[in-house]
Amino acid sequence: MLLICVYVCILVTDFFSTGFSGRGRGGRGGRGGFSRGIFLINYYYIGQNILWKINLKLCYVGNIKSFLYILRFSGPGSVVCLSSVFPTLSCCVFSTPEPRVTYVPPPLPEDEDSIFAHYESGINFDKYDDIMVDVSGSNPPQAIMTFEEAALCETLNKNVSKSGYVKPTPVQKHGIPIISAGRDIMACAQTGSGKTAAFLLPILQKLMSDGVAASRFSELQEPEALIVAPTRELINQIYMEARKFSFGTCVRPVVVYGGISTGHQLREVERGCNVLCGTPGRLLDVIGRGKVGLSKLRYFVLDEADRMLDMGFEPDMRRLVGSPGMPSKEERQTLMFSATFPEEIQRLAADFLRTDYLFLAVGVVGGACTDVEQKFVQVSKFSKREQLLDILKTTGTERTMVFVETKRNADFIATFLCQEKVPTTSIHGDREQREREQALGDFRSGKCPVLVATSVAARGLDIPDVQHVINFDLPNNIDEYVHRIGRTGRCGNTGRAVSFYDMEADSQLAPSLVRVLSRAQQEVPSWLEESAFSGGGSAGSNLPRKGFNSTDSRKGGAFQDHSSVSSQPAAQTAADDEEWE
C-alpha cells in the first residue's frame, strides 16, 4: 500500500463547493467532517469499489483565498483521480512510497527473574467457585480441579507456580482437559480469566510428552503450533506468556507482527520456531516468503476469535487456512477463544472446526455480575469532555481506560487531558509501534494513569489493576460493550465502569444495556429504561441467556437461519476507523 501525499493550492470557494460541512459521513459509514477551529478533516470516500481514507490538514499561507492542503490517501494503488473526490479541483500530484519499517524492539531479557517478574498477582481465586460453566457437545472430558490433575511435566508445573497460579480458573479447569483430549473447542471466557494459559499449557505439555525436537536454525521453519490474534499488543502479550510457560524447555516460541522490521522478525524465526504467534497480515507475509511451512502444524489457535472472523477479517483467515501445506481441519486441532461468540460468528467458526467440537461458556467475571459497578451518565456530545475531566479529577491516580470510537478523537482527548494536567497517553492504529509500546509501558507503570484507546487497539489487552473504565463513546454493539468493561473487575476483583450516554446517538443500544444491567443486578436509570422501551432500537434482541455472554447455537439442533430475527452486525465502525494489526 502506498501513501500518496498531495500538496494542493486551491481557492477557498473551491473547497466549500465540494460539500464538506459540519460533521458528515462518507463512504460506507466512515466518519467524516471537519473542525473549523483546528482545520482538520478526516473523510472516507468510496471510489471504484475502494475505500479511500482522506486526511486533510489546512494551512494558511498568507492569502485569504489561498490555502495549502496536505492530503494523505491510504488505499491500494499509487494513482488517485482527485476529480472524483473534489470535482472542481485541479492540482498536481506527487506520490511517495510508504517508508520502510526499520524499528527493532529492544532485546528481551532471558534470565528467569526477568521473565517471571510481572506475573499476575491478586487473583481472587475463591470468587471463581460461584461462576456458572456450561460445556455442550458430545462426551466432554471430566474437568480438573487442580493443576496436579492436569498431569503437567515438572518444568511446566514449576513455571505455572512462578506465574502466580494457585489453582485453575474455570476456563482452565474445563479447557485444559478438553484440549489434552484432542478435541476442538470454542470457548467463551472474559479477558483476564486465564484463557491464555488454558490453551498454552496443554499444547506445551503435548509437544514435550511427544518428544518434539528442539527447533534448529533453518531458513524454513515448520512450527507445531500457530497462534493468531487481531492486534499487535495482544499477540505480543500471548507470546510473553508462552515464553514464561516454556522457560527451561526445548520449545521455542516466536512472535511476528506489523510495525517491526520484517528482517529482524525473519531472523528470529530462522533461529528456530515451535510455537509461532502472529497477526494475520504478518503471518501471511512470512508464509508467502517461504520462511514458514505449515505441513507439521498440529494446533491452530484463534484468540479474540469473534473479531478474527467478523466481516472485515474473515478473508485473511480463509487465506491463512488455505495456505500451502496447512493441514485440513480434520488433521489439526483448532482452538477458538473469545469473550463473546455471537451466533453469526459461531456459524462462520464452524467452517474451521471439526463437527464434534465442544462449546465452553464460562459465566462472565465482571461484565454481567456484581464485580463491576456499572454507571451511566446522560450527556450531550458537546459536554462529554467536561464530564470526563470532572470524573478523572475525583479518581486521582487510579488506573483508568477511556474508550473512544475514532483514532482522531483518541489523540484529541488525550491532548485535552494533558493540557488539564491529567497525565494521559493514547493507543490506536495510527501510532507507530514504538509509540504504542511506550504508551502501554507508561500506563502499566503508572507514569500515565489514564489511557485513551480505541476499541480495536485495546481488544484483549490484559492489563492488571485497571480500576476504572470510561466509555466516552459507547460502541454500537453490545458485545463490544462487554469487551470494554472486561478491562476492569478482572480475576474476581472489583472495578467500576462509567458510560456516557448520548440520547441522540446511543438509543439503539438502550434495550441491550438495560438487560445487561438487570442481569448484573445493577441499578437501571429510569431515563435509560424509558429510552429502551420507547422504540429506541432492537439491539438487545440477540442477547444470550443464562448469564453467559454467548451460548452454543447448536443447542436444539443444527444452525438455523434466523434472518427474521433482528441481530446485531459486527462492530463495523471501529473496524473502519482502525488498523486492526
The per-residue pLDDT for range 62-118, each reduced to its tens digit, is 333 333 333 444 333 333 333 333 433 333 333 344 567 788 988 999 899 889 886
For 104, residues 6+ apart whose C-beta sits below 8 A from its C-beta are 260, 261, 264
| 358 and 230 part of one domain | yes
Does residue 54 lie in a domain region? yes
Task: Look at residue 551 in the predicted model and tell me its pLDDT.
Answer: 82
Residue ending a domain, among 333, 362, 391, is: 362
CA dihedral for 491, 492, 495, 496, sign (positive or negative): positive
Contact 448, 425 (CB under 8 A): yes
Residue ending a domain, among 31, 65, 84, is: 84
| 400 and 320 part of one domain | no
Does residue 90 lie in a domain region? no
| 356 and 376 part of one domain | no
Percentage of the residues of the chain whose pLDDT score is greater than 90: 50
Domain holding 200, by residue range, is 155-212+219-362
Distance CA 462, CA 445 (A): 14
| 378 and 507 part of one domain | yes
Does residue 335 lie in a domain region? yes
Residue 486 binned pLDDT confidence (cut-offs 50, 70, 90): confident
> Which ranges of 326-383 does DSSP label H, i.e. alpha helix?
343-349
Can you give the CATH number for the domain in which 182 is found?
A: 3.40.50.300
Domain count, the chain: 3
Residue 307 binned pLDDT confidence (cut-offs 50, 70, 90): confident
Contact 478, 568 (CB under 8 A): yes
Judging by DSSP bridges, how do beta strands 424-427 and 450-454 pair with one another? parallel
Q: Which residues of 2-35 are buried (b: 16+ CB within 10 A; e: fewer)?
A: bebebebebeeebbeeeebeeeeebbeebbbebe
Answer whether residue 491 shows pLDDT above 70: no
Answer whether residue 235 shows pLDDT above 50: yes
Distance CA 127, CA 11 (A): 65
Does residue 104 lie in a domain region? no
Nearest to 524 by CA among 339, 340, 378: 378
What average pLDDT does this structure show over 467-475? 96
Distance CA 240, CA 108 (A): 10
| 264 and 242 part of one domain | yes
| 319 and 403 part of one domain | no
Q: How far is CA 133 from the centre of its chain?
A: 24
Answer whether residue 58 shows pLDDT above 90: no
Contact 185, 335 (CB under 8 A): yes
Task: Look at residue 542 in the predicted model and tell me its pLDDT.
Answer: 44
For 261, residues 6+ apart whose C-beta sits below 8 A from its C-beta are 101, 102, 103, 104
Residue ending a domain, among 60, 84, 108, is: 84
Does residue 103 lie in a domain region? no
| 197 and 270 part of one domain | yes
Task: Look at residue 126 in the predicted model and tell me its pLDDT.
Answer: 67
| 277 and 386 part of one domain | no
Annotate 73-100 with DSSP letters as a single string. Answer: EEESSS---GGGTSTT-------BPPPP
For the question of whether the overall pTM of this predicted structure is more than 0.75, the answer is no
**What is the residue whose three cell numbers read 477557498?**
12
